[in-house]
Amino acid sequence: MEFQAKPPVEAGKFERASFTGNASEYFGIWIVNILLTIITLGIYSAWAKVRRKRYFNGNTVILGRAFEYHATGKQIFIGRLIVFAFLIVVNLLSAINPLFSIVTTVLILLALPWLIMRGLRFNARVTSYRNVRFDFAGSAGGAFVAVILGSIVAFVSLGILAPLASRWVWRYVFNNFRYGDRPFSTDPSLGSLYRVWILPALMFLFGAFVSTAIIISIAVASGTLTGGDGVSSEETVGMFAFAAFPVVVLAFLLYGLAGLFYRAGVRNVAWSAAKLDDRHELLSDLSRWRFAWIAISNVVVTIFTLGLMRPWAAVRMARYVNEHTAIRIHGDPGQVMSSIEAAGAAISAEYMDMEGFDFGF
């Protein structure tokens, strides 16, 4: 049940991205970032993020050129400092009067769409390819509809309208994204989104049905529902919790697998429906099984190595995603990119002093 809207690269003119970094190289950056962050009580984490983003962007290559990341640690640190100060004020006000917590919660919810929009714009403008910056022109209102309202719709409908919400999000992101003066666009088919939704939905329902049936059976057998003979209520509850724990873990893993399947499937649909400048086609052809296996095994390996294999896991996922992302340039790639580069140079220069701060959203 894999979605593949376009033929594989080998059969056409798609150019795949690649990741040229390796785990041992990134481990050196990662371990220094961790140690300096600990020594500075978290302050260095802003500069650590810059080093990490520059490494991954600099090793993401397509059409023979890599991406660049231009944010500074100072920008990220100031943004985090503002958020940290705000949280302190919120907690102080809540301690003075619990009613303030209601007001601050409402303010956060109202500000969240703006923060999401600013985060997307910041990350776009500090990223460049062939000396041309990206941009994001979305509004806070659009973020509210796509992210906040979409999440509510998906939740209230028990996931039935999740493909509709996903469509809103991807259209908001792609249709407001720019490369220099050239717009991106996507209009993923709702039918295609529902086709990649079916399997995760069935997995979710199966997990819910099986876990509920098993837990009820365990509860009945342990006397939680029927009453036990000569066994204290505390012992009965303890036996029930011990027996039900593996079921909960398995259900959680199944739900996580369903989420990974859905995430990869939606990405395939949205990216494969996307275009740059309404001409040049994008492609994503992730295998949902392979994507889920990499994500889950990365978590397991990272946990069992106490985090030391985290660089290997990050590089492994980046390499797989890049290798299954591609673009098809209509026309001579050199001429097309040169024209975009020439038109986008002036816009990129304007962004040098406009990025602002990264608030971490």
Largest CA distance in the chain: 84
pLDDT in tens, 285-299: 999 999 999 999 999
Q: How far is CA 301 from CA 7, 79, 257, 304, in A?
A: 34, 33, 17, 5
Within a domain: residue 227?
yes
Q: Which tokens sit at 121?
A: 């714009």
Tell me what pLDDT residue 97 has. 76
Tell me what pLDDT residue 167 has. 97
pLDDT in tens, 138-168: 999 999 999 999 999 999 999 999 999 999 9
Tell me what pLDDT residue 87 has. 78
Within a domain: residue 261?
yes
Contact 62, 16 (CB under 8 A): yes
Nearest Cα neighbor of 65 from 283, 338, 277 is 338
Please tell me the distance from the alpha carbon of residue 276 to that of residue 174, in angstroms, as a whole number: 10
| pLDDT band at 355; cut points 50, 70, 90 | low
Residues with Cβ within 8 Å of 221's Cβ and at least 6 positions away in sequence, in order, are: none
CB atoms within 10 A of CB 292: 19
CB atoms within 10 A of CB 184: 20
Within a domain: residue 9?
no
The yes-or-no verdict on residue 256 having pLDDT over 50 is: yes
109-112: long-range contacts at Cβ-Cβ below 8 A with a sequence spacing of 24 or more?
Answer: 109/148, 112/147, 112/148, 112/361
| pLDDT band at 5; cut points 50, 70, 90 | very low
Tell me what pLDDT residue 183 has. 94
Within a domain: residue 252?
yes
| pLDDT band at 259; cut points 50, 70, 90 | very high
The yes-or-no verdict on residue 11 having pLDDT over 70 is: no
Within a domain: residue 156?
yes
Within a domain: residue 38?
yes
The yes-or-no verdict on residue 305 having pLDDT over 50 is: yes
Contact 23, 59 (CB under 8 A): no
Q: What is the mean pLDDT of the chain?
A: 84
Within a domain: residue 360?
no
| pLDDT band at 6; cut points 50, 70, 90 | very low
Contact 116, 95 (CB under 8 A): no
| pLDDT band at 10; cut points 50, 70, 90 | very low
Please tell me the distance from the alpha carbon of residue 21 to that of residue 212, in angstroms, as a whole number: 45
Give the percent of the chain with pLDDT over 90.
57
Tell me what pLDDT residue 169 has. 96
The full 3-state SS of the chain, as one line of letters, equals CCCCCCCCHHHCCCEECEECCCHHHHHHHHHHHHHHHHHCCCCCHHHHHHHHHHHHHHCEEECCEEEEECCCHHHHHHHHHHHHHHHHHHHHHHHHCCHHHHHHHHHHHHHHHHHHHHHHHHHHHCEEECCEEEEECCCHHHHHHHHHHHHHHHHHCCCCCHHHHHHHHHHHHHHCEEECCEEEEECCCHHHHHHHHHHHHHHHHHHHHHHHHHHHHHHHHHCCCCCCCCCCHHHHHHHHHHHHHHHHHHHHHHHHHHHHHHHHHHHHHHHHCEEECCCEEEEECCCHHHHHHHHHHHHHHHHHCCCCCHHHHHHHHHHHHHHCEEEECCCCHHHHHHHHHHHHHHHHHHHHHCCCCCCCC
pLDDT in tens, 77-108: 988 888 788 878 877 877 787 777 777 777 77
Q: Which tokens sit at 342?
A: 């020439």
Q: How far is CA 280 from CA 11, 271, 277, in A?
A: 17, 12, 7
Within a domain: residue 28?
yes
pTM metric for this prediction: 0.83
- Domain total for the chain? 1
| pLDDT band at 220; cut points 50, 70, 90 | low
Nearest Cα neighbor of 177 from 114, 133, 112, 115 is 133
Give the range of the structural domain holding residue 204, as residue numbers without chain letter: 14-353
